[in-house]
Amino acid sequence: METTLRGVGVSHGVAIGEVRHMGTAVLEPPAKQIAADEAEREQGRARQAVEAVSADLMARGHLAGGEAQHVLEAQAMIATDPELMSDVDRRIVVGSTAERAVYDAFASYRDLLAGAGEYMAGRVADLDDVRNRIVARLLGVPMPGVPDSDEPYVLIARDLAPADTALLDPALVLGFVTEEGGPTSHSAILARALGVPAIVALPGAGEIAEGTVIAVDGSTGDLFVEPTAEKRAELEAAAAERKAALAASSGPGATSDGHKVPLLANVGGPADVPAAVEAGAEGVGLFRTEFLFLDDSKKAPSEEKQIESYRKVLEAFPEGRVVVRVLDAGADKPLDFLTPADEPNPALGVRGLRSLLDHPDVLRTQLTALAKAAEGLPVYLEVMAPMVADRIDAKAFADACREAGLRAKFGAMVEIPSAALRARSILQEVEFLSLGTNDLAQYAFAADRQVGAVSRLQDPWQPALLDLIAMSAEAAKAEGKSCGVCGEAASDPLLACVLTGLGVTSLSMGSASIPYVRATLAKYTLAQCERAAAAARAADSAEEARVAAQAVLSGE
């Protein structure tokens, strides 16, 4: 009998197949005591296991490339965190085995972060996966992982660690569903990069029996258990229609009546550029430069290394627009040389631009490197600051850009509600705004963007979030300046139409989403988008907003 479950769709497409569950293993080692003369040996075992796991994660990242490589390299850094290793050593000295010391040290770190309200707590899957890999190696047991299968299947898991997601074979894994996670979790980001239909934050999915046929709609978040022949035909027809529309769509982003909406790509570095070019991106709307800095948490990359990386991206888009976000460190991206170690809640502390203004040499070097990287290139370089709160922040950033001799447009990200509320004031200092809808939702609703339990409040269709977006776009229009969206909201084709109707002037997203958004925008006029936006803002919930916008665009 067909039943329907609803989670959060995070990667477009439809997958129909039999369920396979992620393998599990009991990885809690016994609380066994060792003699004092065994401590040195156990510490050596722990170090060897940590180094092996870190090397394995780095190797997986190298194989995966692109966004996945950055994610896995960051995870490898967790494995070798010096504070964690010191805690492991201390526990071994007082009698724990290497495996028990690792297990308890990670548990303590996990609890500490959660208790402090740490933004990093949202990376539970990453933290647990590193712990499990180290403990499994010490115990000599297989790691939990993707099941072996000769036939294609739909994978269901409690959550997926980046190391599992990054190397999924799309030829076998038709799609995946997780019980936990959020729309901006690492699993969601990597699913979009892979082009695999996916749903997250679907409680109870793990109870679906192995071998059951399910249909996953990664666009809507709907999961159909034992779908009828009619439902399967309906989903397959919709998927075929989307595929045909994508094939027929090309060129710059625009509505059906010719209103231009540039479609840009979010990239983390040169490795992400080929996919963006292939998708027809008109430039880069978000160049996340922090991935370059995460290669070594102890010190900033040299000016020469930065120039090399930036120039490779700038060269790929001659005559195109490239929007670079300066280093966004802190919260879930801590750097030893930049980030305070003792903040009770780093998500609300010294992160983003605040960190850079506290370390002007780091900002100056990055801005100088960007200026030199752009020399002689016919590219429209724009540079923006993350976590701008008010005009004072905006002015400090613009002044720093000028002092570095940067010939580019200076902009501010709208991620804090105060920036949306005072957008016209901020635009007295900078030339454009870019909405980071992930963080803007997090701060507007007090809902950690990585926690599945509050995914309802992370939904970019929330009318209050649409109000903040509209406020920013209206301010930019009044000042004769641009206002783009570079958060995950832009990757939803229907929501892209609503954002256009709100007055957003450009949309930036993961490369895989660009064809879907281009094809959908081309079906509607600007007036239709504006009516859909008004209907969505008049709703009282995210679901009502989505339904209202769809009704307007469908002519109902």
The whole-angstrom distance between residue 416's C-alpha and the CA centroid of its chain comes to 18
Sheet holding 213-217, edge to edge: 3-6, 222-225, 213-217, 14-21, 153-157, 173-178, 198-200, 8-11
Q: What is the 3-state secondary structure (H, E, C) of 349-387?
A: CCCCHHHHHHCHHHHHHHHHHHHHHHCCCCCEEEEEECC
Strand-pair partners of 400: none
User: Which amino acid type is present at position 265?
Assistant: A
Distance, in Å, from the CA atom of 228 to the CA atom of 64, rounded to the nearest integer, reads 37
Tell me, yes or no, if 70 is annotated catalytic. no
Tell me how far CA of residue 366 lies from CA of 19, 381, 385, 400, in angstroms: 48, 14, 12, 11
Question: 154: which residues sit within 8 A by CB, 6+ positions away?
Answer: 15, 16, 17, 18, 19, 20, 173, 174, 175, 176, 177, 214, 216
Distance CA 228, CA 225 (A): 9
DSSP state for residue 447 in the 8-state scheme: -
Cβ-proximal residues to 132 (8 Å cutoff; 6+ apart), any chain:
25, 27, 143, 144
CA angle 527, 531, 532 (to 5 degrees): 115
The pairing of strands 14-21 and 263-267 is: unpaired
Q: How far apart are CA 132 and CA 488, in angstroms?
A: 30
Q: Where are the alpha helices (DSSP H) in 447-556?
A: 455-458, 463-478, 493-502, 514-521, 526-537, 542-554
186 is catalytic: yes
Give the pairing of strands 3-6 and 263-267: unpaired
Q: Could you tell me which residues come within 8 angstroms of residue 360 by beta carbon, excluding any fewer than 6 positions away?
A: 400
Query: Which residue in the list 401, 483, 486, 497 is annotated as catalytic?
Result: 486
228 phi/psi in degrees, rounded to 5: -70, 165
Structure tokens at 282: 């008109």
CA R_g for the chain: 24
Residue 490 near residue 509, CB atoms below 8 Å: yes
Residue 394 CB neighbours (<10 A): 25
Among 70, 186, 359, 529, the one annotated catalytic = 186
Closest Cα partner for 523 from 237, 244, 195? 244
**What are the CA-CA distances from residue 444 to residues 118, 161, 513 (Å)?**
17, 28, 25
Tokens of 47: 């170090």
Encoded tokens for 468: 């903040």
Catalytic residues: 186, 486
